[in-house]
Amino acid sequence: MNNNSITNEELQRLHALSVFEMDAYKVGYNLIAGTDEAGRGPLAGPVVASAVILPKGICIPSIDDSKKLSEKKREQLYDVISKEAVSIGIGIIDEKTIDEINILQASILAMKIAIERLSVIPDFILSDAVSLPDLNIPQKAIIKGDSKSISIAAASIIAKVTRDRLMHEYHKKYPAYNFISNKGYGTAEHLEMLRKHGPCEIHRRTFQPVACLLADRAGR
C-alpha cells in the first residue's frame, strides 16, 4: 500500500499499533493472528468473532478499534482488510448457546472457531483481553488489544461488520425491535419494544432485562 499520502502523525500511530506484531516477528513468528469478538453486550443475536492474519509490515490508514470508527469507515476498512489479509476466519455462536454456556465462554469459543477456520495455521495469536485455552499455539492476551494491536483491530472490524450485517438480516424477520438500528443492544427503544412485544427467538433469555421480563410474565 502506498504510504506517500499518509501523514507522519498517522504513520507514527500505525507504527505504535504494530509494536506487538513487530515484537513477535523479532523472535521468529511469521503468521500472527489477531482475534476479537463483537456482541458481548447485546440482549439479542449472536456473538461473532474474527481471526485475521495480516501481511508483515502492512500499512492500513485509519485502522483502529472498531468501536472508535463510524459505520461507514468500518465498512470501508472491512473491504481493505478482506483484500489485504493473508487469511480471515469467522466464528459465530448463537443466542441459545450463549444462554447455555454464558457470554464469556461463548466469546472464547467463537474466537477459537475463528482461528480454526483460518486457511493457514498461525504460529502466534494476539487476543483481546482473554486467553484461549486448549490451543497448541503460543499466544498473548492484551487488555484493550483492539486499540493496541493492528491485527486485533482488524479482527474487531471484521467481527463487528459481520455481526451488524447479521442483525440487518434479523431486522427483516423481526422488524418490531429495530435491530437494524440498535443491533440488539439494550437501547431505550429496544427495551420499550421488548416490554411491548416480549422476547423474540433471538433474544438472550439469561440476560437481565430479558430474564426479568420473562420472570415477571411467568409470575402474573
47 alpha-carbon distance from chain centroid = 8
Enumerate domains of the chain plus CATH numbers.
Answer: 8-174 (3.30.420.10)
Comparing CA positions, the residue from 34, 80, 27, 78 lying closest to residue 53 is 34
- The CA distance from 152 to 41, in Å, is 19
Instruction: Give the whole-number percent of the chain exceeding pLDDT 90.
Output: 95
Q: How is residue 73 written as a grid cell?
A: 469507515
Chain-wide mean pLDDT for the chain? 96
Per-residue model confidence (pLDDT) at position 144:
97
Cβ neighbors of 75 (< 8 A, separation 6 or more) are 161
CB distance 86 to 53 below 8 Å: yes
Q: How is residue 29 written as a grid cell?
A: 513468528
Q: Which band of pLDDT confidence, cut at 50, 70 and 90, is reported for residue 5?
A: confident
Question: How large is the angle between the packed helices 188-197 and 208-219, nearest 10 degrees?
Answer: 30
Comparing CA positions, the residue from 114, 126, 163 lying closest to residue 20 is 126
Q: For 25-146, where are the E strands, in sequence order? A: 32-38, 47-53, 87-93, 124-128, 139-142
pLDDT at 4 > cutoff 70: no
Q: How is residue 192 written as a grid cell?
A: 420499550
Q: For 131-157, how does the pLDDT look when each residue is reduced to its tens digit (9 = 90+)?
A: 999 999 999 999 999 999 999 999 999
Mean pLDDT of 157-177: 98
Phi, psi of 71 (to 5 degrees): -60, -40
Q: For 37-93, how does the pLDDT look when each residue is reduced to its tens digit (9 = 90+)?
A: 999 999 999 999 999 999 999 999 999 999 999 999 999 999 999 999 999 999 999
- The CA distance from 126 to 52, in Å, is 10
Comparing CA positions, the residue from 203, 180, 201 lying closest to residue 191 is 203
Alpha-carbon distances of 12 from 149, 175, 212, rounded to whole Å: 13, 44, 48
CB distance 129 to 108 below 8 Å: no
pLDDT at 220 > cutoff 70: no
Structure letter (DSSP) for residue 198 = -
Q: Calculate ∠ Cα 122-125-126, nearest 5°.
A: 145
Per-residue model confidence (pLDDT) at position 219:
73
